[in-house]
Chain A
């Protein structure tokens, strides 16, 4: 099964308005910058997609990637654990002006809610956030004399992720700490679009080295020598 997309523009061509969109990466590591920028290009050319709910650990940095999506006005709501950082002006300005919604989720709960959707588990219990304002309104339960909070799976219509090696069946590896949320989001979204640095023939990746099996990936596009978010932010690049 060949899932190769001929271009970045093609890879993101069928993401409609108003969807819930997972975007991989933690800080600048593992962020699919080229896919995000292709989506921004489409928005600038056609006005779509807009009113997006974006799920990421952070809320964008500098003036590229998710921050540029926010600045462009494509994002209605962020679901994340840590929107506050030194270069998060794009989100901060809109949030403080009441122009963007925020759902704040503890980082491990965010990861597990994404994993749970990918694994088909609608709810689970975690000790995280018990007794805090982030648990308000959520059911609690005692197990072995300890209190736990019920959390629901987190769904997405699409995921944009970044792998390192990939093959046309969608098998993926990741580079260094760039793995982070990418394998979880690949599992959780209805449709997963992956950019990879090296698109190789099936059989080129050792089956024992595959981190994300191709069943979780719908489209794959090669981006040789991808841009690195942190490097772009440090250079002050504006997209």
Chain B
């Protein structure tokens, strides 16, 4: 075995976000889910012009303002203060979700509790306790041309998050097309997980062992390498 330590050698969230950012195309309209997926904007490659959408009705927002400079009427769906880029626009909620459902967004990136090999996503609720809340997740998974997930490959207990079938309540059926994990990049094609990239340090067997469904290999599996300085 290679000496790969699953918990120590896996990618950090920032490193996963960096990898996901590399696939965001120039000229695209993108919605990044609240929390971890939002980090992807920080790693947008130079020279690419990307317009970010937020569900509460802003297109073309930029970085957070400096502390003390917030205008709390200008927020994103995560209720964080934002700034505007030149060319930004405001619109009401029905127009905002028309952009989503109408297929006008190129990419939506969300977090996940579980992703199934058929593209089912569970990311809004883990059980029946507490106060349920869904927000825009169920809308976002239907409409964007590509729906990607960023996630740790395994749960905090080391159990698989990529599974044959979700056991948590579903957010959407057959909606995810690509998963960026802390160990690999995996596409979902014809209800199968197709391994595209993996960390060079982990063996295929070790990766399969922490994945809850069969990883299919179609052609070459590339090395997943993240530049120094991203942590």
Q: Which residues of A contact B (CB under 8 A)?
A: 26-30, 57, 81-85, 88, 91-92, 95-96, 102, 104-112, 114-115, 126-134, 147, 174-184, 211, 228-231
B224 CB–A CB distance under 8 Å? no
The CA of A130 and the CA of B139, in the complex, are separated in Å by 10
The CA of A211 and the CA of B95, in the complex, are separated in Å by 13
Tally of chain B residues near chain A (CB < 8 A): 38
Provide the residues of chain B in CB contact with A229, threshold 8 Å: 72
What are 16 sample pairs from A and B whose C-beta atoms fall under 8 A apart?
A28-B79, A81-B133, A107-B134, A107-B135, A108-B96, A110-B93, A112-B97, A126-B101, A127-B142, A129-B138, A130-B142, A132-B138, A132-B169, A134-B138, A180-B92, A211-B92
Pair A108/B139 contact, Cβ less than 8 Å:
yes
Query: Whole-angstrom distance from the CB of A49 to the nearest CB of chain B?
Result: 25
Provide the residues of chain A in CB contact with B169, threshold 8 Å: 132-133
Provide the residues of chain B in CB contact with A133, threshold 8 Å: 169-170
Q: Which residues of B contact A (CB under 8 A)?
A: 55-58, 71-75, 77, 79, 90-94, 96-97, 100-101, 120, 130-139, 142-143, 169-173
The CA of A126 and the CA of B101, in the complex, are separated in Å by 8
User: Please, which residue of chain A has its CB at the minimum distance from the CB of B143?
Assistant: A127
| Contacting residue for A131 out of B74, B77, B79, B173, CB 8 A | B173
Provide the residues of chain A in CB contact with B101, threshold 8 Å: 108, 126-128
User: Please, which residue of chain B has its CB at the minimum distance from the CB of A231?
Assistant: B72
Pair A106/B138 contact, Cβ less than 8 Å:
yes
Provide the residues of chain A in CB contact with B173, threshold 8 Å: 130-132, 147
Pair A175/B73 contact, Cβ less than 8 Å:
yes
The CA of A180 and the CA of B77, in the complex, are separated in Å by 10
Pair A84/B170 contact, Cβ less than 8 Å:
no
Pair A181/B138 contact, Cβ less than 8 Å:
no
| Contacting residue for A81 out of B57, B58, B135, B171, CB 8 A | B135
Pair A106/B57 contact, Cβ less than 8 Å:
no
Pair B138/A83 contact, Cβ less than 8 Å:
no
User: Please, which residue of chain A has its CB at the minimum distance from the CB of B75?
Assistant: A29
The CA of A85 and the CA of B77, in the complex, are separated in Å by 12
| Contacting residue for A29 out of B72, B91, B138, CB 8 A | B72
Q: Given that A28-B79, A177-B56 are contacting pairs, would A109 and B139 also be in contact in the complex, using a CB cutoff of 8 Å?
A: yes
The CA of A229 and the CA of B143, in the complex, are separated in Å by 32
Pair A29/B56 contact, Cβ less than 8 Å:
yes
| Contacting residue for B55 out of A83, A105, A108, CB 8 A | A108
The CA of A16 and the CA of B91, in the complex, are separated in Å by 32
